Chain A
Amino acid sequence: MTHRGRVLVVGADGADPQVLSRLMADGKLPHLARLCAPGAWGPLQTTFPPVSPVAWMTCLTGVLPAGHGIRDFITKAPDSYLPTIGLFAVRVGPDGIPTYTSRCAVPTLGEMVSQAGRTAFILKVPGTFPPVSIRGGMLAGFGMPDVLGTFGVSAWYTTDEATKKASAPEGVELVQPLAPAGGGAWSGRITGPAQTAIGFSLRRDSSQAVLQIDGRPPVAVLSPGEWSGWVRLAFAVPGRGTIAGMCRFKLVALGSVVELYRTPVECTPDAPLFPLAAPAGFGAYLESLVGAFATLGMPADLDGVRRGIVDLDTFLEDAYANWDQQIDMTVRLMLAFPKDGQPAWDLLFTHLFAVDNVQHLFAHCQDPSHPSYDPQCAVRMGDPIEHVYRWLDDRLGMLLEHAPSDTSVIVISDHGGLPVYRLVYLNAWLWRHGYLVPRETQPDGIGARVDWGRTRAAMFGTGGIWLNVQGREPNGVVTAGAPYEALRQEIARGLLEWRDLETGQPVIKQVLTGESALGSGVPGSADARAGAPDLMVALHPGYGLGRGEALGRVMSGSTLIVPNLSAWTGGHEGPYLVSDVPGIVVIHSPGSAPVDVRGAGLQDIAPTVLRLLGIAGPPGITGRSLV
């Protein structure tokens, strides 16, 4: 342990090694290229499933998912057939406000650095909610909810509710009325926590609209296409007092139809309803540096786009504003706390969702073979994916410009990104092959419930299949032991034989046992299989899971495979094998020992950072240092 340096980690969620190599070869990523010495960059093995919270927590803990305990977005409760969020446990107090407990069972990098007496700032890394108090500060990443306790629910207010709802059946819940209020004004309501609401009015004033909240003085005067700043809201919750929130508005249209977009109502940095930062005052401190900022764990309205309500321009305007502000926050934090002319931080780790988010929604834009390809998208929007990589490179340049010259820089992504051409229904396959029995005829657009008394296997979450085992599940029908193992093998064999009849291609690339997919060596648990699925399915690239089945339901009315005509045109969650959707790692460490990233995995990042800082890693870490 010879180094006592300083480390900057830039988490570029979703950055794909192939795209990155191509753009770098074309000279379009100059700052990244400057860091990429031979041997010091390359693919980075992701986790299985390759989803952000699972992967980033492996990065932060140095152990595989079975070791840290965050295994998927959605999982099955161990003692019932209830689907449950995989990141944290939720409880609700008598006042109706949720509280959250992380499922992460081991210390994260910020804690390790902190325990060594060094200072770390960890900004918005997925899975770090609720944040843990460290020497320095931690700002919660994906998982941090809005004031409604959701991952972010926006609203589209309109004077023509019927037309908007008809245009996007999956998004009707987001469409809200703008009701005539006389005198060229309209009124609407903003839903708050615990069934509260606040009224607002929008009044036409020539070619602009004046926005007032709760009868107070105007908070914004907007032209069509213009955004407000952050607007603070105060919800009076009985038994709880006032709960603060904030949102931004965009006046979309002010013609014969009036439309107003509202972002999710987020927690405020200075008085968050949910634990935004640790220590608690860290959020307010960051606000003092950059003003009010997006606090949602994933500060971009992918859900609004996915549901067909929010247009891509509005999405990009909102998202880039938030991502740019996070860059500004990182730079200011880098320069704050001067100590003898040097920044006081030892580790600064900032995570950006930009590349991931754009790849999800724009994979079709430049790909004529994609079922959702629209030539007009390419003409009008250019290449949004190339644009976001170049944005990332430009902002990386800003960070490098402000980092002290002796800073070691690590750029990593948790996985890559692929176009998704066709969607498959795994529970429907289990039904067609006699392993799953629906309890009802499939309701329109909703997965049918499962008859657990007659079902032997079903999928929850991202391709995890649970067998309905006697003694383990409430209505188990599969005998443990040899019959269980035989069934497991039979299903795996059947899935591997599944062919897409339209293309003739196999659909399933590999079927893994839960214990092998999630990794062995379990510092936080005595049993790697506790609560894990019995099988985990890896799809061939190009396929993705169809919606409607992740909660253990079955799309029994669907064909098994359909073209992907959804707004979610690209992905990484597949689930795909770790070798099919790797991330990237770049290590630039002036004066350190040689770097060798061959065969590197996400679990190697925490030990590498610790080595660069001269800190001995705690026992239990299974990753290795790359320097």
Chain B
Amino acid sequence: MAERKAKYTTISIPRELYERVGTLIEDTGFRSPTEYIVYLTRQAVMAIEADRNLIHSLPYAVGRDGDSASGSARASDP
């Protein structure tokens, strides 16, 4: 049977920060610091992805990181 990838993994954050998050989320509806941190991380990731979507669709010369120089370009510089 193929090995299944675990659905969750563990990351480390400073204990002091974890405790501050625990205090912060009291009465906010978040059930744990982990839940709140996952929420924030997901939002940050989606925002960066949305930003990248824009950048990648920018037609101006600066727009993409995935485009190559022309394959037929002649060398002009060693």
Contacts and interface: CB of A to CB of B under 8 A. Distances in A.
Interface of A: 51, 72-74, 82-85, 90-92, 94, 96, 98, 145, 148-153, 170, 298, 302-303, 306, 420, 422-423, 425, 444-447, 461-462, 500-503, 544-551, 553, 555, 558-563, 565-566, 568, 571, 573
Contact of B51 (A90, A153, A303, A546): A90
Interface in B24-78: 43, 46-51, 53-70, 72-78
Nearest to A555: B69
Nearest to A51: B60
Main secondary structure of the interface of B (DSSP, over half): loop
Given A446-B65, A446-B66, A461-B62, A145 B54 contact: yes
Given A445-B66, A447-B65, A547-B67, A565 B57 contact: no
B28 to A, nearest CB: 15
Contacts of B43: 91-92, 94
**Most chain A CB atoms below 10 A, which of B50, B61, B66, B76:** B61
A544 B61 contact: yes
B71 to A, nearest CB: 9
Contacts of A150: 53-54, 56-57
A149 B50 contact: yes
B11 to A, nearest CB: 18
Range class of the B interface residue count: 20 to 34
Interface of B: 43, 46-51, 53-70, 72-78
Contacts of B57: 150-153, 303
Given A150-B57, A562-B70, 19 more contacts: A72-B62, A90-B50, A96-B46, A149-B54, A151-B59, A303-B59, A445-B67, A500-B76, A502-B77, A547-B64, A548-B65, A549-B65, A561-B77, A562-B73, A563-B74, A565-B70, A565-B73, A568-B61, A573-B61
Given A548-B67, A562-B74, A563-B74, A73 B50 contact: no
A508 to B, nearest CB: 14
B47 A90 contact: yes
29 contacts: A73-B58, A73-B63, A84-B55, A85-B55, A91-B47, A92-B50, A94-B43, A149-B53, A149-B54, A150-B54, A150-B56, A170-B67, A444-B68, A445-B66, A461-B62, A500-B76, A501-B77, A501-B78, A502-B74, A547-B61, A547-B63, A548-B68, A550-B65, A559-B76, A560-B77, A565-B70, A565-B73, A571-B61, A573-B61
